[in-house]
Amino acid sequence: MAVPQTKLGPFQVEHPFILAPMAGITNSPFRRLMRRMKSALVVSELVSANGIEYMGQKTLELLKFHEEERLIGLQIFGENPERLVGATRYVEKLGADFVDLNLGCPVPKVVKNGAGSAMCRDPISLGKTLAEMVKAVKVPVTIKIRTGWDSESRNALDVIRAAADAGVGWVAVHGRTRAQGYSGKADWDFIGDLKAKSPIPIIGNGDILTAEDAVHKVRTYGVDAVLIGRGALRNPFIFEQAAALWRGEVRPAPQPEDYVAMLGAQKQLLHETYEPRGAMLHSRKFLAWYSAGFPGSSEFRKKVFSIPDPDELWQVAVDFFRESSKSRNLDFMREEFLMGGHG
């Protein structure tokens, strides 16, 4: 059977499995790693359009990316239409392949200013802003939304139609309302219905924790692609595995040597990007996530947060995963994990 093609706006991508944007996580070294490990494209974490206007140092740091990351989208958020248009132009100038607008963030600090998911409450006014953003650049403008503000107002279809009229390239939908935060389950039937009615590509998102489920979601709900967030922190091999399944190949669970190679690459990328303290901070976070649920993980995490020397830390990690990844019972990867974020 021929493998279906995956087309998103003007881009032909290898397969429909994509790393979801996550603040504090999908930074440049992790995006590089995930591109090597076959995420079809990558998106930065949300970056403030106001911060771009003021050229804040921290903001500009967040916008840096490496050629290896392409296709790369830079994600912005904000509430002021002129600043959003300015930020869109700036991001295009930096060389991003597309500009993504965060319209899903549920965090009070963001929505109280009218940014993130609050912008979707008024699809007409949102449509005008999106049309201005689209007009301002040559690269695609894309959006990431939730299903609605709360269970009474799941207006994603209105938002999608307004976005399509404005010329937006595609819409990623996290299948929860803003009010749900990270509770309950993503509503994939709702996402499937949106896809059936949408004139532009729809990327589904929410609660995908295994490669099998990723393939199942694309096939069952007809979405053009899926975003995988927390599942990639549990299982950084999920894109390779899903891509193989998609092509009809059988790929065994990651072997100890796969973990050793991945850890070596990540250590190098982190230390190449950050000064030693920053690199250690990120190393500890990722190692703790990858180990979650493996036998002996709580002991391992204690070590991770107490070892001061980077070489020793990564050696302990290699030893841990070389041993623990021999375990073939990976059911724990289906458990809930990391219940909060910006989209």
**Residue 120 known to be catalytic:** no
Interface positions, 181-200, toward ligand FMN (CB under 6 A) = none
By CB under 6 A, residue 110 contacts ligand FMN = no
For residue 227, what are the β-bridge partners? Answer: 18, 205
By CB under 6 A, residue 174 contacts ligand FMN = yes
Angle subtended at Cα 134 by Cα 129 and Cα 140, rounded to the nearest 5 degrees: 135
By CB under 6 A, residue 97 contacts ligand FMN = no
Nearer to ligand FMN by Cβ, of 289 and 314: the residue is 289
Is 258 in contact with 21 (CB distance < 8 Å)? no
By CB under 6 A, residue 73 contacts ligand FMN = no
Nearer to ligand FMN by Cβ, of 26 and 291: the residue is 26
Q: Which SS3 state, helix, strand or coil, does residue 282 take?
A: helix
- What torsion do the CA atoms of 63, 66, 71, 75 make, to the nearest 10 degrees? -10
By CB under 6 A, residue 78 contacts ligand FMN = no
Distance, in Å, from the CA atom of 274 to the CA atom of 93, rounded to the nearest integer, reads: 24
For residue 173, what are the β-bridge partners? Answer: 145, 204
Nearest approach, Cβ of residue 144 and ligand FMN (Å): 4
Give helix 188-197 / helix 156-166 axis angle, nearest 10°.
40
By CB under 6 A, residue 83 contacts ligand FMN = no
Interface positions, 6-35, toward ligand FMN (CB under 6 A) = 20-23, 25
Interface positions, 254-293, toward ligand FMN (CB under 6 A) = none
Pick from 48, 59, 205, 291: which binds ligand FMN (CB under 6 A)? Answer: 205
Pick from 228, 262, 279, 317: which binds ligand FMN (CB under 6 A)? Answer: 228
Nearest approach, Cβ of residue 206 and ligand FMN (Å): 5
Q: Which of 18, 62, 63, 105 is catalytic?
A: 105
By CB under 6 A, residue 51 contacts ligand FMN = no
φ and ψ of 54, to 5 deg: -90, 0
Q: Stretches 188-196, 228-236, 263-271, 316-324: which one binds ligand FMN (CB under 6 A)?
A: 228-236
| Distance set, CA 117 to CA 178, 183, 212 (Å) | 7, 16, 30
Q: Tokens for 126?
A: 């949102």
Nearest approach, Cβ of residue 143 and ligand FMN (Å): 9
| Distance set, CA 343 to CA 145, 174, 181, 234, 242 (Å) | 7, 7, 9, 19, 23
What single-letter DSSP state applies at residue 46? E
By CB under 6 A, residue 343 contacts ligand FMN = yes
Nearest approach, Cβ of residue 318 and ligand FMN (Å): 26
Among 23, 116, 15, CA closest to 71: 15
Count of residues that interact with ligand FMN, criterion CB under 6 A: 24
Nearest approach, Cβ of residue 341 and ligand FMN (Å): 2
Pick from 15, 35, 83, 230: which binds ligand FMN (CB under 6 A)? Answer: 230
Is 93 in contact with 126 (CB distance < 8 Å)? no
Exposure on the CB side of residue 119, measured as CA atoms within 13 A: 28
Q: Tokens for 220?
A: 């069952």
> Annotated catalytic sites, by residue?
105
**Which residues are near ligand FMN by CB under 6 A?**
20-23, 25, 45-46, 75, 102, 104, 144, 174, 205-208, 228-231, 338, 341-343
